[in-house]
Structure formats: structure tokens, C-alpha cells
Amino acid sequence: MEKMPKWADVVLIPVISLLLAAVISAIVILLIGENPMEALNLMVNGALGSTYGWGYTLYYATNFLFTGLAVAVAAHAGLFNIGGEGQAMIGGLGLALVCLYIPFPHWSIALLVAAVGAGIFGAAWAAIPAYLQAKRGSHIVITTIMFNFIAAAVLNYMLVSVLKPKGAMDPATAKFPESTQLPSLHEILAPIGIEFSKSAPANVTLFVGIAACIVVWGLIWHTPLGHEIRALGKSERGAVYAGISPVRTVMITMLISGALCGLMATNNVMGEAERLVLNATEGAGFIGIAVALMGRNHPFGVFLAAILFGFLYQGGAELALWTNIPSELIVVIQALVILFTGALDNMVRMPIEKIFLAFRKENA
């Protein structure tokens, strides 16, 4: 017998966790001498009150879609990919190389090829930890953390010593050629009569992210490979008994996960900055963890959680602009979400299970 209905597990528990995180954040805001209701008001207005705000919210959400999906896919195989940050950095490197050195006639072809480049680089960066986990039993959490730092060093070296144009001061590549510039939401929505802010960075990759959600959903629940991934995640011994090769499945899962992180570069590097800078990922790889936890590793949940975090990031930036609350508040909220939906899951879950059991007994 299940302890509680599915909707409680999928909706009720994340919502309660989120409320807990929100209440504690409100207390933190009170403690630093600001008004939580005003803060919320500012965030909602700043992030959702205009197409400009929406443009930023959706831009951030697109980043988190890719990294959240990456963490979710790995989680289905029982793997905790904490290396999204590094994979996204190296994905950005792959994308920059494609955009800088291959001439493209049209942005759509550029996007396609650049996505392949970014995906391959991201997947390659996940491949070594995956191989070490699968073949040598090294813990993937530790190796992916190490690879984040190695990626930062590689990127630093490439930007400072190799890719920086002659005479430039800041460690960044040259601007990508005009033919690789992606259309923004403004340009996409204008022909169908919707006015969208010109200066907001949301762009066509939002739809790539949504497509990735659908592909991941199909992959996990409607293909043999997805079945193998989930079987491995539930029980390795059971999976082996069913004839599934753990080595092969771990490798493929991590390659997909790394590629998804790499794909993020199509949004933040190609769509927004249009050149590769040092701190392009801005921690989005780690936010993917919160997004996947919040979204219960389901693509639709990830989609909602990504929008939520996009809202938090844009709202947080607005807060920092208009009040004395630094944008680090969002990092605290993010930490609380990870804490409540991830680590303290049982604290929320146990009382709710008890309530449902009590109800069931009464009805029986």
C-alpha cells in the first residue's frame, strides 16, 4: 500500500518545502531590517510586471532548464551530477570555437552546429568522471567537483592565453560574427503582433530548452534506454539481473547529462553575451541541482522550477537595485530550497505521511 497519494508526493511536498524556504527567507529579510512583503512586491513587479522583466526571467529560466534537466537525467540513474558548472563552462568553450572559426550563412544553421559543438564539449567533460565512476568506482560527486575546478582553470587559460584578441584587456573572446546572432523574443514575437521588450536577453533558445524538456521526457519514460536508466537508478543489482550493463548505462546517462549542460551555452554565450567571458555560467550549474530537486526530476517539474528560479534571479537583481538587500538573498533562498526539498525531505514528508495514514484508517 502506498503511504500517500501520488499528488501529495508530487505537488504537496514541494509546495510545503517551498513555503518553508519562503518563510525562513522572510525572517532573514526581517532580521536585516527590511520589509518582506515590500520585497516580494518589488520582486514580482521587477520580474513579472513588464515584458522587460519577463525577458530576463525567461532568459535565466532557459539556463536553469538545461542544467536542471541535466541533473534530473543523472538522478534517474542514481547519479548526482554536481559538475554542471564545469560542463557548462566547457560547453561554452566548444560553442565559442564553433562560432568564431566556422563561417555561417544563417543563424539557424549556426545554432544547430554550435549546439552540437557545445553538447559534444559538455559531454566530453562529463565523460571522464563517468568513466571513472563506471569502471573504477570513483565517486562521481567528488570527481565532478574536481572537474568543475579543472574546467575553471582550463577556461581561464584558454581565455587569457589563447582566445583573447590581441590588445584586448579583459579575458574574453572576440565578439562572435553577426551571422551567429540569435533572434531575441522581441524579433520572434513582433511579426505576430506581440510587443516584447527589445533590451531583454530572452531569445530563441528558450524554445530549444522546452524542446529539450520534451525530448528528455520521451527519453526517460518512453524508450528502452530510459527504462534502463531508471532501472539502474532503482537498483543496480536488479538492473544487472535484467541484463542491463551498468557501465554502459552510466556512461550514456552522464554523456546526455553533460551534453545538456553544454547546451546551456547556446543561451548564455551565444544568445546573450555573443562572446565567451570568464564567469559566463554564473553558478547556473549549481542552480540546476535546486531546480531538479524542486521539480522532482520530472521535465515538467523542472520547467516550472526553472521559471521559479528565473523569477527569483531577476527579482533578486531588482531587489539589489532598489533596496539594501543584496542579490545574495537569492543564494540563501536557493540553499533553503535545496535543504528542504533535498536534505530535509524526510522532515517534511514524515508528518504528512502520518496525516494521510490517519485519514486512511478513519475511512477504512
Contact residues for other proteins, defined by CB under 8 A: 28, 31-33, 80, 82, 128, 132, 136-139, 141-143, 145-147, 149-150, 152-154, 156-157, 160-161, 286, 289, 293, 324-326, 328-336, 338-339, 342-347, 350
Helix (H) or strand (E) holding 8: none
CA distances 154 to 4, 165, 235, 265, 281, Å, are: 48, 17, 36, 16, 14
Q: Which is nearer to other proteins, 11 or 160 (CB)?
A: 160
- Minimum CB separation from other proteins for residue 100, in Å? 21
Q: Which ranges constitute the DSSP H helices of the chain?
A: 6-7, 13-31, 36-48, 51-76, 84-101, 107-131, 140-157, 185-189, 205-222, 224-234, 236-241, 246-263, 265, 284-294, 299-322, 329-338, 345-363
- Minimum CB separation from other proteins for residue 222, in Å? 28
Contact of 96 with 269, CB cutoff 8 Å: yes
Q: Which is nearer to other proteins, 99 or 277 (CB)?
A: 277
- Minimum CB separation from other proteins for residue 189, in Å? 35
- Minimum CB separation from other proteins for residue 304, in Å? 20
Alpha carbon 65 to chain centroid distance? 5
Provide the 3-class DSSP secondary structure of residue 274. coil
Q: Which is nearer to other proteins, 32 or 242 (CB)?
A: 32
- Minimum CB separation from other proteins for residue 320, in Å? 10
Strand partners, 277: 172
Contact of 105 with 179, CB cutoff 8 Å: yes
- Minimum CB separation from other proteins for residue 331, in Å? 3
Provide the 3-class DSSP secondary structure of residue 79. coil
CA distances 86 to 279, 302, 317, Å, are: 11, 20, 24
Rounded Cα distance between 65 and 266, Å, is 12
Strand partners, 172: 277
Q: Which is nearer to other proteins, 188 or 332 (CB)?
A: 332
Q: Which is nearer to other proteins, 12 or 225 (CB)?
A: 12
Cell numbers at 59, concatenated: 532568459
- Minimum CB separation from other proteins for residue 39, in Å? 12
- Minimum CB separation from other proteins for residue 128, in Å? 8
Q: Which is nearer to other proteins, 58 or 339 (CB)?
A: 339
Q: Which is nearer to other proteins, 143 or 203 (CB)?
A: 143
Which is nearest to 323 in space by CA: 63, 93, 41? 41
Which is nearest to 91 in space by CA: 140, 151, 161? 151
Please count the residues of the chain: 364
171 backbone φψ class: left, alpha, beta (φ>0; ψ -120 to 50): beta
DSSP category for residue 194: -
- Minimum CB separation from other proteins for residue 209, in Å? 23
